[in-house]
Amino acid sequence: MKKVVVTGASSGIGKEITARLLKLGYEVIGVSRNIKKEDFESEFFKPLQADLSNEASSLEICENLSNKDIYILINCAGFGRFEPHEELSAKTITDMVFLNLTAPMLLTNALLRDLKKNSGYLININSIEALKSSKFAGVYSATKSGLKAFGDSLFEETRKSALSVTNINPDMTQSNFYNELRFETSANEDEKLLVSDIADAVEHILSMRKGAVVSEYTLRSLNFGIAKKKL
């Protein structure tokens, strides 16, 4: 059975992708701070607790996974804070950069030989913010743009192998990503994405002929919508 690592597997997009991959017959190692075996009703799900915003914890996980013969790595864990830049704390900045960008680089570094050997897949869950500039999103956009650039570079670097590298760039997706933010997705169905839309994209990528690679996969809602929370 082919093994997959999904970061951020305990909630939101990562949880939906994990559930979809288990349904498709993969063995999934889900990485998150609070992940538990009971989160998924499958004997093929294995939880691995780690704080990927922390260097020591990330390096430990990299060591743990480096001999697992991984077929797919999906870098999904991440968070965003959207404030005037001078109002962000130093810890928020460093945690965001490490979780959104440094940790995926470290995990990819640890697993890349296996991914190439197994003719596997590297999928980065980026953001529409990797493709545009928005006010109050300087650090978040920088991390997502950096992750996209990293994936694009690896696509060229590993092209002679049978590794497929894809950046998925979703627009605003209804999930717990917005729990601590001042805004959230619209209530209108045509003004938001659902986590199942992102899982559909992953399934589509994995179903394609291996000789073809979707290197860039951008998902937008049909119309734009945003809802400000009542303070």
**Per-residue model confidence (pLDDT) at position 100:** 98
CATH code, 68: 3.40.50.720
Low pLDDT (below 70) residues in the chain: 231
**Per-residue model confidence (pLDDT) at position 89:** 98
Total number of domains in the chain: 1
Instruction: Quote the domain boundaries for residue 98.
Output: 3-228
**Per-residue model confidence (pLDDT) at position 230:** 77
- 10 Å CB burial of residue 6 (0-12, 13-18, 19+) is buried
**Per-residue model confidence (pLDDT) at position 231:** 63
> Do 82 and 181 form a contact (C-beta atoms < 8 A)?
yes
Are β-strands 216-219 and 193-194 bridged in parallel, bridged antiparallel, or unpaired? unpaired
For every residue of 49-98, DSSP letters joined together read: E--TTSHHHHHHHHHHHTTS--SEEEE-------S-GGGS-HHHHHHHHI
What pTM value is reported for the model? 0.96
**Per-residue model confidence (pLDDT) at position 128:** 97
**Per-residue model confidence (pLDDT) at position 187:** 95
- The whole-angstrom separation of Cα 55 and Cα 45 is 25
